[in-house]
Structure 1
Amino acid sequence: MMPSFFIAHGAPLLAIENNVYTQAMNQLPSLLPHRPRAIVMFSAHWEAFEQNVGFVDTFPTIHDFGGFPRELYEIQYPAKGDSDIAKETLELLQKAGVPVNFDTTRGLDHGHWVVLRHVYPDADVPVVALSVNPNLTIEQQYAIGKALSPLREKDVLIIGSGGTVHNFSYIDMRETTGGASEWALEFEQWLEQTLTEWKVDDLAKYRELAPHAEKAVPVYGSEHFVPLVYVMGAADDARTAKRLHMSFRYGSLSHTIWQFGEAK
């Protein structure tokens, strides 16, 4: 049985850096019972009104950012797809009544490959890319993840890539020491208690209950937060959660790794 993970992808620069956070990502394969057959992965940077499932032989690498060093634009992450797992993913979603489509052209955006090149740098584990819909309710996002839970029994690793505190209006580019704003810490502390106690009802009301939610998750920018909900739902059968890592960049951009469910 595979756990599911939420992994913050932070700034694209993480792809070429060696720091405490990238080292934490490097260690994730050692937490698994064995090498996964495939990775099913939600990225905050693929938004769609209906659920999309990537059905691609070899994924192109999307460099969906600007103003960064040339080295970033030269990175390729040519992961193979897995048609059988993609089909099963689509069927599980259809069975749960989720409107779903195959996408046969879209590549992996930086939400996918910034994380994956630290976890599996050789791009040798097949990937099935999934979109997110921030317009759904927390309950609906959780239900989509729950529908995919049977994949974990087939050695499929489910990952959500985004950011729990992700608001460009509050980042401080001068803060390079790893320090964190008090409000960002308070939001993360509330989230830790809510997730570890598996309070899905409270999570659904995080905008009213969580301190500084309006700063941590912009009203019109929740796409980075919702991958967390999908992968939490994927471990509904286990209902165990633990934060494996937390650090910060620019004062409020959080780098968190969450594990849902146990590796067996």
Structure 2
Amino acid sequence: MMPSLFIAHGSPMLAIEDNSYTQALHNLPNLLVHRPRAIVMFSAHWEAFAQEVGVMETFPTIHDFGGFPQALYEIQYPAKGDEEIAQEAVALLQAAGIPVNLNRSRGLDHGHWVVLRKVYPDADVPVVALSVNPNMTVEQQYMIGKALAPLRAKDVLIIGSGSTIHNFSYLDMRETSGGAFEWSLQFEEWLKETLMEWNVTDLAQYRTLAPHAEKAVPAYGSEHFVPLVYAMGAADDDRIAQRLHMSFRYGSLSHTIWQFGKAE
């Protein structure tokens, strides 16, 4: 049985950096009981109204950012797809009454490959790419993750890639020591308590209940928060949450790794 994971992808620079967070990503495979057959991965950078399930023989690498060092644009992550798992994901979503499309043309954006390159650098675990819909309610997002939960029993690792705090208006680009604003810490601690209690009711009302939610998850930018909900829903049968890592960049950009469910 695989757990599900939420992994913050932060800045694309993580792809070429070596720090405490990239080291935590590199160590993730050691925390799993065995190697996954495939990875089903939601990325905050693929938004779609209906749920998209992406599969290709080999995914092209999308460099969906600007103004970064040339080395980032030269990175390729040629992950293979998994047709069988993609088709099963579509069937599970359809059985749950969730509109879904099979996409055979979109590559992996940096929400996918920046994380995957640190966890499985050889691109030797097949991938199925999934979109997110920030316009849904938390309850609806949770149900999409829950619909995919049976894949975990088939050695499929479900990952949501985003950021629990993602607001460019509150970045201090001079803060590179790992320090964090007090409001950032308060938001993350509320989230920790809510997730560890598996309190989906409060999570669904995070905008009014969580301290400083308006700073952490701006109304125009919730697409980075919702992958957390998908990953949590995928472990509804276990209801065990553990924060494996938390660090900060620029005072507020949080690098968190959450494990949902048991690895056994």
Which residue of 1 is the match for residue 197 of structure 2?
Answer: 197
What is the rounded CA distance, in whole Å, between the counterparts of 2:175 and 2:32 in structure 1? 34
Which residue of 1 is the match for residue 59 of structure 2?
Answer: 59
Which residue of 1 is the match for residue 140 of structure 2?
Answer: 140
What is the count of residue pairs matched by the alignment?
264
Q: Deviations over 1:44-91 (max 9, x none)?
A: 000000000002110000000000000000000000000000000000
Q: Which amino acid aligns with 1:127?
A: V
Which residue of 1 is the match for residue 263 of structure 2?
Answer: 263
Q: Deviations over 1:2-51 (max 9, x none)?
A: 00000000000000000000000001001111110000000000000000
Q: Which amino acid aligns with 1:37?
A: R
Flag as ranges the 4+ runs of structure 1 deviating above 3 A: none
Mapping for residues 99-110 of structure 1, pairs under 5 Å? 99-110=99-110
SS in 1 for 2:220: coil
SS in 1 for 2:219: coil
SS in 2 for 1:247: strand
Are 1:7 and 2:4 an aligned pair?
A: no
SS in 2 for 1:27: helix
What is the rounded CA distance, in whole Å, between the counterparts of 1:226 and 1:179 in structure 2? 25
Which residue of 2 is the match for residue 33 of structure 1?
Answer: 33
What is the rounded CA distance, in whole Å, between the counterparts of 2:46 and 2:104 in structure 1? 14
Q: Which amino acid aligns with 1:58?
A: T
SS in 1 for 2:33: coil
Tell me the TM-score normalised to structure 2 length. 1.00
Quote how far apart the aligned CAs of 1:185 are: 0.3
Mapping for residues 1-264 of structure 1, pairs under 5 Å? 1-264=1-264
What is the rounded CA distance, in whole Å, between the counterparts of 2:223 and 2:93 in structure 1? 20
Tell me the TM-score normalised to structure 1 length. 1.00
What is the rounded CA distance, in whole Å, between the counterparts of 1:84 and 1:45 in structure 2? 24
SS in 1 for 2:178: coil
Q: Which amino acid aligns with 2:95?
A: K
Q: Which amino acid aligns with 2:36?
A: P
Q: Which runs of 5+ in 2 are unaligned?
A: none
What is the rounded CA distance, in whole Å, between the counterparts of 1:37 and 1:244 in structure 2? 22
SS in 1 for 2:157: strand
What is the rounded CA distance, in whole Å, between the counterparts of 2:36 and 2:255 in structure 1? 24
Quote how far apart the aligned CAs of 1:206 are: 0.2
Q: Deviations over 1:88-114 (max 9, x none)?
A: 000000000000001111000000000
SS in 1 for 2:175: coil
Quote how far apart the aligned CAs of 1:240 are: 0.2
Q: Which amino acid aligns with 1:10?
A: G
SS in 2 for 1:221: helix
Structure 1 vs Structure 2 CA RMSD: 0.3
Q: Deviations over 1:232-260 (max 9, x none)?
A: 00000000001000000000000000000
SS in 2 for 1:186: helix
